[in-house]
């Protein structure tokens, strides 16, 4: 019973999607809408076609856009081995866009030292003005990213965008 109702509804929806209709005013001045052509004596007839609505979904979710706008993520890493690879992979798994910076580069060193209090411990995660985390601890990173409104997993088919460090 339910499957036949679903099939019928799908048929109606498909017909309505491509349907054309007529808009006209009858002899009493009442506007009419029909799928059949109006009587021949009607003078003002407009033939119309139902259009479709399109919602753009190829961009990131609004919540992700807001998180990126309000709490941009920056990852400071060097060639520190497995821990830095794991840190990058963590952000990629969650689908979080981030800027990657190398604190060994002269143009990044001063900012990095201000953030760390003079140390050189990497990885360093900066989540907007909200949080700065030294080292990698998945639970701490997740808590900071959750608080900023980032998704806990990547959207299927989305590719995280990391801005590589300047050379």
Q: What is the CATH number of domain 62-163?
A: 3.40.30.10
pLDDT confidence of residue 72: 96
Structure tokens belonging to residue 125? 């995660």
Helix H or strand E encompassing 89:
helix 82-94
Residue 29, token pair as written in the block = 């001045």
Residues 97 and 160 sit within 8 Å (Cβ to Cβ): yes
Residue 16 has pLDDT above 50, yes or no: no
| pTM score of the predicted model | 0.61
List 59's β-bridge partners, or say none: none
Rounded mean pLDDT, 3-32:
64
**Tens-digit pLDDT profile for residues 78-116:** 988 999 999 999 999 999 999 999 999 999 999 999 898
Give the pLDDT confidence score for residue 126 in this predicted structure.
96
Cα angle, residue 85 at apex, residues 77 and 82 outer, rounded to 5°: 100
Question: pLDDT above 90 covers what percent of the chain?
Answer: 40
Domain boundaries, the chain: 2-49, 62-163
């Amino acid at each position: 019973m339910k499957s036949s109702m679903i099939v019928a509804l799908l048929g109606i929806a498909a017909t309505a999607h491509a349907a054309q209709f007529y808009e006209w005013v009858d002899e009493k001045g009442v506007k009419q809408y029909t799928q059949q052509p109006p009587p021949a004596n009607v003078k003002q007839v407009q033939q119309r076609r139902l259009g479709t609505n399109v919602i753009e979904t190829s961009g990131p979710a609004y919540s992700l856009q807001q998180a990126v706008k309000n709490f941009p993520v920056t990852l400071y890493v060097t060639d520190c081995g497995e821990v830095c690879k794991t840190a990058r992979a963590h952000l990629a798994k969650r689908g979080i866009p981030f800027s990657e910076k190398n604190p060994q580069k002269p143009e990044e060193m001063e900012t990095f030292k201000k953030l760390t209090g003079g140390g050189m411990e990497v990885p360093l995660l900066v989540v907007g003005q909200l949080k700065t985390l030294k080292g990698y601890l998945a639970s701490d990173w997740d808590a900071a990213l959750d608080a900023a409104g980032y998704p806990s997993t990547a959207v299927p088919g989305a590719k995280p965008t990391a801005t590589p460090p300047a050379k």
